[in-house]
Structure 1
Amino acid sequence: MEKLYNLFTYGTLMQGFSNPYATKLRLSSNYIGKGHFNGKLFQVEWYPGALYEPGAPTLVHGEIYQLNSLEILQELDEYEDVLEDETASLYVRKVVPVRNAEEVAIDCWVYLYNKPVADLPVIEDGYFKTTPSGSRR
């Protein structure tokens, strides 16, 4: 039996964002539903960055997708500036337990922010939205 792979998105790959990578994700996956994990969400620039913190009282909210194949991950890695040298990467792709609407934990690939966050504003409610100017990644 083929292994199923899931991806959790919390930023510009979510529904409602129009960019070529979000479109490719929709064509290469099945939307499972909303989800969340314990952590913090930051406004980096016109895009967000999340940190997974298992003990955090705050949540990062987003969407769960079941990938039809792993091929899409290479393109998404490029979009998210995931590099072979992890220390130079803007994001790193890690497996994180994401809880769905029924609070069931599902292991998902998540792009986690990989740069300092000390000077970044926290998105308190954990939901990324477009900026007023409509800028999108």
Structure 2
Amino acid sequence: MECPYCGSPAVFMTHKEFYGRDYGGNVYVCRPCDAYVGTHGRSKAPLGTMANAELRRYRNQAHAAFDPIWKSKSMHRTAAYRWMQKVMDLTPQEAHIGMFDVPKCIKLVEICSRYRSHSS
């Protein structure tokens, strides 16, 4: 995997090597850019795209806006992701916050805010 910010090869590490504790997964890391992405469990399959500190903040905000929709049982999780896909005009492969760039995160936060204000 290549860092999308600087083009350097990302280093593959275990969670223990990266975080100092084993959370049961791995991570691809670019130290100079402070960019990284976790993997599906102990596999080498990334959970999304590498993200620097700014993009991680926006993805966290997107999750904070989106996750309560399905965690509150207002929608089942699968239905919530299908709804996200539809309202944001995404393919099933794109409908994951781990694949989002900053503008998509901002758009999802706005859409979720409107959804919550209409469903209250």
| TM-score, structure 2 as length reference | 0.26
Q: Give the strand-richer structure, 1 or 2.
A: 1
| TM-score, structure 1 as length reference | 0.24
Q: Give the helix-richer structure, 1 or 2.
A: 2
Higher relative contact order (CA 8 A, sep 6+): 1
Larger Rg belongs to:
2
